[in-house]
Amino acid sequence: MPLTPTTRVLLTGAGAQLAGAIRARFEGHCALTAVTRQECDIASPAAVARVLAAANPDVIINCASYNDVDGAERDPRAALSANGLAVGVLADAAAGADAVLLHYSTDFVFDPAVDPGPLREDAPTSPRSIYAQSKLLGEILAKRAPRHYVLRVASLFGGSRAKSSLDRLAAAIRRGDTVKAFANRTVTPSYVPDLAEAAAALLARDVPYGLYHCVNSGHGTWVDVARAIAVASGLDADRAVTPVPFDPSAFPARRPTYAALSNAALAAHGVMMPPWRDAIARYVRTLS
């Protein structure tokens, strides 16, 4: 479904860092209705029905999510509601409106015991935290929409609110701080403008519906990421970054040690994700 000025797109969770990039990419290319939590709590079937009736969308993009990974252990109900059951509400609404549902999930659904190499969509999930379990429930319930995309993303950065771990790391490095970074935690960073571009490309190319990993290409440890930020900022990476070991038991919620995602399935459908180091370099240029 290519975006045309008459394509009606409803964006839920419009306050999210990812939603800001989607707005920037989609506005002017389609008829976009963006609703924040205040305007549409996706956990409320009545609110979703009201907004859908008004927007009559061809596509629903859901960025709403309960993303406080540690907070979810204390308040599982909130996480399971927003990340799980509410996605079912949206999926049923999308099915009723014959709309496409594009929903986001997370690399945290994985937690392999050993490094298996970049994880493909069919790798066994192992959600060890309430957050991860709630997001996996959302993946399952999103399938109630016959026309659905579930995109697993990871370690977002570059949103306008600059609130992610990577954004905070970049700010500290660029102030001249020496930052601690995990030497043994492997991730696939995702630059939100690249994710927004991928969403547009996915729709334009009529990629078959289903589950895809949607992250920048390649993977690295948090030390690699921090060093790349320093290098792109013209700073001495050895001085800017102190490697420290990652201890999963140090946090209330378990986080995967290895969570590199392969985006080969998306690439096979012509949606090419730029390498993460290139994304970091472009991001750092926006900070100058």
Ligand X SMILES: NC(=O)c1ccc[n+]([C@@H]2O[C@H](COP(=O)([O-])OP(=O)(O)OC[C@H]3O[C@@H](n4cnc5c(N)ncnc54)[C@H](OP(=O)(O)O)[C@@H]3O)[C@@H](O)[C@H]2O)c1
By annotation, the residues acting in catalysis are 131
194 binds ligand X (CB under 6 A): no
Which positions from 154 to 183 touch ligand X by CB under 6 A, shown as an x/- string?
xxx-------x-------------------
CA–CA gap between residue 114 and residue 271 (Å, rounded): 29
| Interface region with ligand X, contact rule CB under 6 A, candidates 23-31, 140-148, 153-161, 207-215 | 153-161
CA–CA gap between residue 69 and residue 76 (Å, rounded): 10
- Compute, in degrees rounded to 10, the torsion defined by CA atoms 161, 164, 170, 173: 120
CA–CA gap between residue 35 and residue 11 (Å, rounded): 6
Classify residue 6 as exposed, middle or buried by CB count within 10 Å of its CB (0-12, 13-18, 19+). Answer: exposed
Least spacing, CB of residue 177 vs ligand X, in Å: 21
Selected binder of ligand X within 31, 61, 86, 137 (CB under 6 A): 86
Selected binder of ligand X within 59, 82, 102, 187 (CB under 6 A): 82
What element of type H or E holds 34?
A: strand 31-35
| Interface region with ligand X, contact rule CB under 6 A, candidates 38-46, 213-221, 224-232, 240-248 | 38-46
Tokens encoding 8: 């009606």
Least spacing, CB of residue 155 vs ligand X, in Å: 5
Least spacing, CB of residue 120 vs ligand X, in Å: 17
CA–CA gap between residue 31 and residue 170 (Å, rounded): 35
CB-CB contact of 257 with 183 (8 Å) = no
Residue number of the CB atom closest to ligand X? 15
Q: Is 181 helix (H, G, I), strand (E, B) or coil?
A: strand
42 binds ligand X (CB under 6 A): yes
Residues forming the site for ligand X (CB under 6 A): 12-13, 15-18, 37, 41-43, 63-67, 82, 86, 104, 106, 135, 153-156, 164
